[in-house]
Amino acid sequence: MINATLKQLGVALRAKQISSVELTQLYLDRIATHNPVYNAYITVNAKTSLAQAAAADTLLAAGDAQALTGIPIAQKDIFCAQGWRTTCGSKMLADFIAPYDAHVIEQFNRAGAVNLGKTNMDEFAMGSSNETSYFGPVRNPWNPKAVPGGSSGGAASAVAARLCAAATGTDTGGSIRQPAALCGISGIKPTYGTVSRYGMIAFASSLDQAGPMARSAEDCALMLNVMTGFDERDSTSLQRDKEDYTRDLNKPLTGLRIGLPKEFFAEGLSADVGSRVAEALAEYRKLGATLVEISLPNTRLAVPVYYVLAPAEASSNLSRFDGVRYGYRAPEYTDLADMYEKSRAQGFGEEVKRRIMIGTYVLSHGYYDAYYLQAQKIRRLIAQDFTDAFEQCDVIMGPTSPSTAFNLGEKGDDPVQMYLSDIYTIAVNLAGLPGMSIPCGFGDNTMPVGLQIIGNYFDEARMLNVAHQYQLATDWHSRAPL
Amino acid sequence: MSLSTADVQKVARLARLAMNNTEIEAARSQLSGIFELIAEMQAVDTTDIAPMSHAQDLSQRLRADNVTETNQRELFQSIAPQVESGLYLVPQVIE
């Protein structure tokens, strides 16, 4: 049962082969056993989860079930869920009980899904290894010495270790795709504006986008069906008709044009990752696709541009944490300014403070044009590269991450080394395009390798089709670490 | 690019982050490394390129100017560090 897909679980629940309470308890037991090692969850609330499961069983008994009714889903601890502690991986929100539901949480509640718990993450989603969490690092189920990636590291670890049926993540610079790659699971960041950001704690608002992390592309499609939709409370939510993301899963890939950006296969890519990606591309040729070399000439600028724009937006978004209305307040202070400065200094971790300082600097008087404005201009060049590339191809493929999972502490104290590990994912966020990662084998250290699939705007159904057809022909996605 | 101690102190003050001298020095060294990475941008010719502030070039949606929120003061203040009589308490700022 723990290896079942969401579709299989739905069938089993509706056929009364298992109840939602039994399924939820099964996962809660697994969390109790394995979470002390993986640290994938920050908060579990068995009583609440089981009450939701019992309600789902009532719906199932009445024949009112939808696709995900009764299925236990892990929620990244960046989504406010009413009555649940919602920490965003920070001491700043260590005791914050959310007073309302994020849109994503509402959507899962409406679908009758069970909230299985809140997953660990890099503090305020700032990190690529899950080592910046105030609640301790998450371990990779394929090797507990290795990181799971980040920032949605808890979600990726929980899905891989079978500590949930599927999970939610968020992706500002690669935070769904990179941990999905490092933990050997499937994850998709949809087009910017597709999933509402309401109640999702903000990092960089022009880049943040939520999406599913699951064991297959088909499961991602079912999750996306629940997560997407217009929400007037998010000013950047797009008014589009509701889509069924499973509609194209079974289309053949004959004639599919796959663009290979030459910049993604250059210096910096580990040989083993390069080989697995090449093998995946060979499989796609067998499935009827043709490969086209393309160029994304501004790829190398994506990291510097991102480390201006994302911190700039973060410094603004995180100014709300001042110890007044909610969140951490320092125990001792002399006056109001001192209270702000000490609450923020004590409540935020090192990486968050670093990014707030970068952002404050690039937005400060005299530097705005040279940094922030210049970065926004290059952002347009990067987006234009993709527009040009999609003239020649239907999807773009390449590695998700330059290497497989590295060990905890391995990147040390040099933030620049960590930032460079997101080289292939960041440009997708800057352009606002959908991006996906699926497992395509194992590296020299027997750790999973991820294949990145980048689509044109609103082309998620095609990307899921492309991923699903590969998963019908291969079994990398069904390999389990345990 | 190398930042000075004074630069970092100024940024810390603007960002409302209390930092001691050791922390300022550590931040100076790491931020300098990050700004070296960022400096790669400066060589790019962006004449006549319009800045891209958002992924979708959409105009801001407007709504009717009606009250849509309900009063949830007690709920919201239940999670505040310090409240009294429905007010958020902070150190005295007006003599």
The tens place of each residue's pLDDT in chain B, 95 residues long, gives 689 999 999 999 999 999 999 999 999 999 999 999 999 999 999 999 999 988 887 778 888 999 988 999 999 999 999 999 999 999 988 87
Q: Which of B10, B17, B44 sits opposite A341 (nearest CB)?
A: B17
Instruction: Give the pLDDT score at B55.
Output: 84
Residues 22-81 of B with CB under 8 A from A: 27, 30-31, 33-42, 44, 46, 49-56, 58, 60-61, 63, 72, 75-76, 78-81
Instruction: Give the pLDDT score at A34.
Output: 98
Instruction: Give the pLDDT score at A118.
Output: 98
B6 touches A at CB < 8 Å: no
A288 pLDDT exceeds 80? yes
Instruction: Give the pLDDT score at B95.
Output: 77
For A92, A97, A177, the CA distances from A330, given in Å and listed in that order, are: 10, 18, 36
Instruction: Give the pLDDT score at B93.
Output: 85
Question: pLDDT band for position A6 (50/70/90)?
Answer: very high
Partner-chain contact A341 B46, CB within 8 Å: no
Catalytic site includes residue A175:
yes
DSSP class of residue A202? P
Instruction: Give the pLDDT score at A381.
Output: 98
A181 pLDDT exceeds 90? yes
Mean pLDDT over residues A164-187, rounded?
98
A54 pLDDT exceeds 90? yes
Determine the distance in angstroms separating the CA of A235 from the nearest CA of chain B, rounded to an integer: 7
Q: Which of A235, A304, A344 sits opposite B38 (nearest CB)?
A: A304
Partner-chain contact A99 B72, CB within 8 Å: yes
Q: Please tell me the distance from the alpha carbon of residue B19 to that of residue A422, in angstroms, as a whole number.
A: 29
Q: Which residue has the tokens 């070296």?
A: B36
A248 pLDDT exceeds 90? yes
Partner-chain contact B39 A235, CB within 8 Å: no
A482 pLDDT exceeds 80? no
Per the model's pLDDT, the better-predicted residue between A134 and A1 turns out to be A134
Cis status, amide bond into A364, omega within 30 of 0: no
Closest to A182 (Cα-Cα) out of A404, A425, A455, A451:
A404
pTM above 0.80, yes or no: yes
Catalytic site includes residue A262:
no
Closest to A356 (Cα-Cα) out of A302, A320, A312, A309:
A312
Q: Which of A238, A328, A380 sits opposite B49 (nearest CB)?
A: A380
Q: Is the ipTM of this complex over 0.90?
A: yes
Instruction: Give the pLDDT score at A417.
Output: 86
Partner-chain contact A315 B15, CB within 8 Å: yes
Pair of tokens at residue A201: 């704690």
**Is-contact A181 A401, C-beta < 8 A?**
yes
Q: Which CATH number fits domain A6-253+459-478: 1.10.10.10, 3.90.226.10, 3.90.1300.10, 3.90.550.10?
A: 3.90.1300.10
Collect all residues with Cβ–Cβ distance below 8 Å to A29 and sequence separation of at least 6. Answer: none
Q: Is the dihedral of CA A346, A347, A350, A355 positive or negative?
A: negative
**What residues does each domain of chain A span?**
6-253+459-478
Pair of tokens at residue A77: 């601890």
The strand pairing partners of A188, in sequence order, are A436
Instruction: Give the pLDDT score at B57.
Output: 76
Question: pLDDT band for position A1 (50/70/90)?
Answer: confident
Instruction: Give the pLDDT score at A345.
Output: 98
Mean pLDDT over residues A288-292, rounded?
98
Instruction: Give the pLDDT score at B94.
Output: 83
Mean pLDDT over residues A396-404, rounded?
97
For A289, A342, A381, B26, the CA distances from A323, given in Å and listed in that order, are: 55, 9, 40, 25
Mean pLDDT over residues A357-367, rounded?
94
**Chain A with chain B: Cβ pairs closer than 8 A:** 164
Q: Which of B50, B79, B91 sits opposite A380 (nearest CB)?
A: B50
Collect all residues with Cβ–Cβ distance below 8 Å to A312 and sequence separation of at least 6. Answer: A358, A359, A362, A363, A372, A375
A470 pLDDT exceeds 90? yes
Catalytic site includes residue A76:
yes
Helix (H, G, I), strand (E, B) or coil at A309: helix
Q: Which of A175, A196, A216, A437 is catalytic?
A: A175
Partner-chain contact B15 A307, CB within 8 Å: no
Instruction: Give the best residue of A377, A382, A430 to mutate against chain B (max B CB count within 10 A).
Output: A377
**Is-contact A434 A457, C-beta < 8 A?**
yes
A55 pLDDT exceeds 80? yes
Instruction: Give the pLDDT score at A159.
Output: 98
Instruction: Give the pLDDT score at A267.
Output: 87
Angle between helices B5-14 and B21-38 (to 10 degrees): 100
Q: Please tell me the distance from the alpha carbon of residue A430 to that of residue A256, in angstroms, as a whole number.
A: 25
Q: Which of A19, A20, A49, A76 is catalytic?
A: A76
Instruction: Give the pLDDT score at A433.
Output: 98
Mean pLDDT over residues A47-72, rounded?
97
Q: What average pLDDT does chain A have?
A: 97
